[in-house]
């Protein structure tokens, strides 16, 4: 069965994950240069079986037509370049959440520097706005200069540093 396509850009197909993507997921998230930016306690994916489990978990999230953690496939090659996500941010510990939604991206190093993160994130933001969202956030580790640059290219407004989400101090942006 073909995966559900969520949206497309000139160069990319953004779609649900398939079991066949497991090797690529493992190859992306086993790399410290990718995983070091993710989560409150960054760690690399430890084994191929973890990739299968995470694909299953992501596809469970993808059942909501607005939100998801999706594969970003290059049309020209059919290779998955990375991940783009549009998900509700976790509720802050103080309970002050207002249903904020995050756009994010994680790409294999062989896809870096070609504008794929910006292109897929721009399309994810458009998808969110078409779905009725009024604003979308991005949160980035302060020393992740490439992702900070993506936020600027997307036209996101910087809000400053916060520890509101994910148990880490992050630069926050909104569009």
The pLDDT score that the predictor gives to residue 1 is 62
Query: Could you tell me if 103 and 124 are in contact, meaning their C-beta atoms sit under 8 angstroms apart?
Result: yes
Confidence (pTM): 0.94
Q: What is the pLDDT of residues 1-57, one digit of tens each?
A: 678 999 999 999 999 999 999 999 999 999 999 999 998 889 999 999 999 999 999
The mean pLDDT of 126-136, rounded to a whole number, is 97
For residue 89, the domain's CATH number is 3.40.630.30
Q: What is the pLDDT of residues 47-100, one digit of tens each?
A: 999 999 999 999 998 999 999 999 999 999 999 999 999 999 998 777 777 899
Question: Rounded to the nearest 5°, which phi and psi values hold at 34?
Answer: -95, -55
- H helices of 21-175, in order, are 22-29, 32-35, 48-61, 116-130, 145-153
| Segments forming the whole domain that contains residue 125 | 5-174
Q: What is the pLDDT of residues 100-121, one digit of tens each?
A: 999 999 999 999 999 999 999 9
The pLDDT score that the predictor gives to residue 94 is 76
Q: How many domains does the chain have?
A: 1
Three-state DSSP class for residue 83: strand
Task: Please give the residue that has the higher pLDDT: either 91 or 122.
Answer: 122
């Amino acid at each position: 069965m073909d995966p559900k396509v969520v949206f497309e850009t000139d160069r990319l197909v953004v779609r649900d994950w398939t079991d066949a993507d497991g090797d690529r997921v493992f190859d992306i998230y086993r790399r410290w240069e990718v995983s070091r930016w993710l989560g409150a306690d960054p760690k690399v994916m430890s084994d191929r079986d973890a990739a299968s489990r995470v694909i299953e978990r992501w596809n469970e999230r993808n059942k909501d037509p607005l939100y998801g953690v999706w594969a970003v496939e290059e049309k020209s090659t059919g290779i998955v370049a990375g991940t783009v996500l549009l998900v509700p941010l976790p509720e802050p510990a103080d309970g002050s959440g207002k249903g904020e939604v995050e756009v994010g991206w994680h790409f294999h190093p062989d896809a870096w520097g070609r504008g794929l993160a910006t292109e897929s994130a721009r399309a994810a933001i458009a998808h969110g706005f078409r779905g009725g969202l009024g604003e979308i956030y991005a949160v980035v580790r302060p020393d992740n200069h490439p992702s900070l640059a993506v936020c600027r290219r997307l036209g996101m407004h910087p809000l400053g540093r916060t520890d509101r989400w994910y148990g880490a101090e992050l630069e926050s942006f909104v569009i």
